[in-house]
Amino acid sequence: MTSTDFSSLSAMHRAACAKLGPLTALRFKHDCLWHNLSWDDYRRQADQVAAGLIELGIKPGDRIAILSENRWEWLVADHAVLSTAAADVPIHAPSTSAQIQYQLEHSGTCAIFVSTQAQWDKIAAVKSQLPNLRFVVAFDGDVATPAAASALTTYSWDAVRQSGQRTGAAGRKEVAAREAAIKANDLATIIYTSGTTSRPKGVMLSQGNLITNSLAGSESSGFDCSQIWFNWLPFSHVFARLVDDYSTTRMGATVALAQSPNTVMDDIREIQPTYFSSVPRLLEKAWAHLITFPPEERPIVAKKMFGQRLVHISSGGAPLPDHVAIDLRAAGVTVLEGYGLTESSPIISFNKRDDWKIGTVGKTISGVEVRIAADGEILTRGPHVMLGYWNDPAATAEAIQDGWLHTGDLGELDSEGFLSITGRKKDLIVTSGGKNIAPAALEALLTGDPFIEQALAYGDERPFVSAILVPKFEKIDEAVRESGGVFSKSGDIVTDPKLLAWFQKRVDATMKVVSQVERVKKIIVLNRPLSIDSDELTVTQKVRRTAVFRRYQTYLDALYQGPSE
């Protein structure tokens, strides 16, 4: 483990709070007004909650879950848990009772923070399967213990904080002693992966994993405490937590929290941030609006959309189409792509403001090694590599071999050291004729069409490649006029033959740049967007390919019952 400049995440946070004191650490909107939380209050509340948790019996090494939408209490709870020398288990807010039950049971969680009554009710529905769970702490003051979970005690956020405050000097001394005992290799968090094809795995990240990655990430950004960062990606995902929490702590930057994913653009106009992280879906929607204006007007429109202070946006989680990055940059909006995964804490590579290349995910960050295996898989080694998977030594041994993390992604390194992602190893299509095809390249071509929002290429062990398309619904009326067809929201897919033939013609034109065997020969066009609620997208808008293919398997099978041409 590479040495770090802080002994723990708590020490890093405490140092920032001591240095910045009355300055604003967090901004959040409540009752239509923006409120500020100073660094002093941030640390004071974290210490009080930590002491309160210790009073409730939390011991070093315990696991405490957080089930909540993004809010300032989420961040305070995270630092409070870390200060008790326990590890937290962040759970995505949209998770179902069954998903929550598995993660709590598998991790042996003994306590959980919840945001609302609705989140508590999810836990109550599976309480009988959670023998280790001892108590619940609710952020909202009006949350009550459901009748189905009467054996569990619900404590309010304020009650736990005030309990910790009453411990006084003794409580502060115990928190300090626990922090002093934390080592770089100690477990900090267990984050469960998406689990699209099997049970999710619990990724164990250490204090050192997150400290070194936050250091390298903050060095790459070039920002300081005068900056305003905007957060809207979920803290339950490692990227937002690392970049919008730990890295901003290092820099002392103010973090402004979005009210919800539905208010992002409105919040950005009010906050006028210097920087924010995103996923391609939001940027593609912004691009679709921007290009409706003449090129000479786009910089003005972009300023209105993203604010006057924006320096750059970072994008990750999925490939950003080159044309989106190029058009946004031409309008004065710099988007820098990076790459990583939960198992790598997460950042592996990142484009810098003074050293970037569109179409790549940048160069490796400080301390991180990358090499490309003989089969094209990206391997990485360094202090960012996870401890392993919780209670799964076999999966750990498969993922980490001789110190190298096998990412499962395919990629290339150019002569300047820029890394490009070419696809997923498991997503490779091997046709019945034995041809290996990377779906990512085909999907990038398809989504370059102004009428196609998303595309999933399909065809493993099939005689030809097909695709599931999600149209740009803001342009569907135009598509209907041009095709002479009809668009209906009934059923699962577009069935009108004229509209389907029109989309197929556009696909055929797009596919002319690839070989015959790679071309998408037949398509399914959906009549609704992919959604998180349907388990088709992760909370960071990444497509769950296996789940989507499973959902539309009958329609996919039907494509192969007739001729390919």
Amino acid letter, residue 68: S
> Rounded to whole angstroms, what are the CA distances from 144 to 27, 86, 153, 157, 232?
28, 25, 9, 12, 28
- Rounded Cα distance, 307 and 265, in Å: 10
Look up tokens 């999710």; give the residue. Answer: 200
pLDDT on residue 1: 32
Say if residues 455 and 468 touch (Cβ distance below 8 Å): yes
Give 395: exposed, middle or buried? Use CB within 10 Å, 0-12, 13-18, 19+: middle
Query: 438 in the Ramachandran plot: left (φ > 0), alpha (ψ -120 to 50) or beta?
Result: beta
Q: What is the pLDDT of residues 407-459, one digit of tens each?
A: 999 999 999 999 999 888 888 888 887 788 889 889 989 999 999 999 999 99
Task: Look up residue 239 and give its two tokens.
Answer: 């990227």
**Sign of the four-CA dihedral 6, 12, 16, 21:** negative
537 phi, psi to nearest 5 deg: -130, 150
- Closest by CA position to 23, among listed 37, 44, 6, 33: 37
> Rounded to whole angstroms, what are the CA distances from 437 to 386, 440, 457?
30, 9, 10
Give 178: exposed, middle or buried? Use CB within 10 Å, 0-12, 13-18, 19+: buried
Task: Look up residue 361 and give its two tokens.
Answer: 């995910």
Q: In 10 A of CB 94, how many CB atoms?
A: 15
Say if residues 168 and 186 touch (Cβ distance below 8 Å): no
Counted residue by residue, the chain has a size of 565
Task: Look up residue 344 and give its two tokens.
Answer: 């790598």
pLDDT on residue 443: 92
Q: In 10 A of CB 32, how many CB atoms?
A: 6
Q: Which helix (H) or strand (E) holds 87?
A: strand 87-91
Q: What is the pTM of this model?
A: 0.86
- Rounded Cα distance, 393 and 546, in Å: 25
Give 170: exposed, middle or buried? Use CB within 10 Å, 0-12, 13-18, 19+: exposed
> Rounded to whole angstroms, what are the CA distances from 390 to 105, 241, 396, 505?
12, 20, 9, 49
Sketch out the chain's domains with CATH numbers. 35-182 (3.40.50.980), 212-424 (3.40.50.12780), 429-559 (3.30.300.30)
- Render 325-366 in DSSP notation, one character per residue: HHHHHHTT--EEEEEE-GGGSSEEEE-BTTB--TTS--EEPT
Rg for the chain, CA atoms, rounded: 24
CA 258 from chain centre, in angstroms, equals 15
pLDDT on residue 482: 96
For the chain (565 residues), the mean pLDDT of every run of 10, in chain order, is 74 97 97 96 98 98 98 98 98 92 97 98 95 97 91 95 98 98 98 72 97 83 78 95 94 95 95 94 90 96 96 90 94 96 96 94 96 96 98 97 96 97 85 83 92 94 94 95 95 95 96 91 96 86 89 94 62
pLDDT on residue 461: 86
Q: What is the pLDDT of residues 449-461, one digit of tens each?
A: 999 999 999 998 8
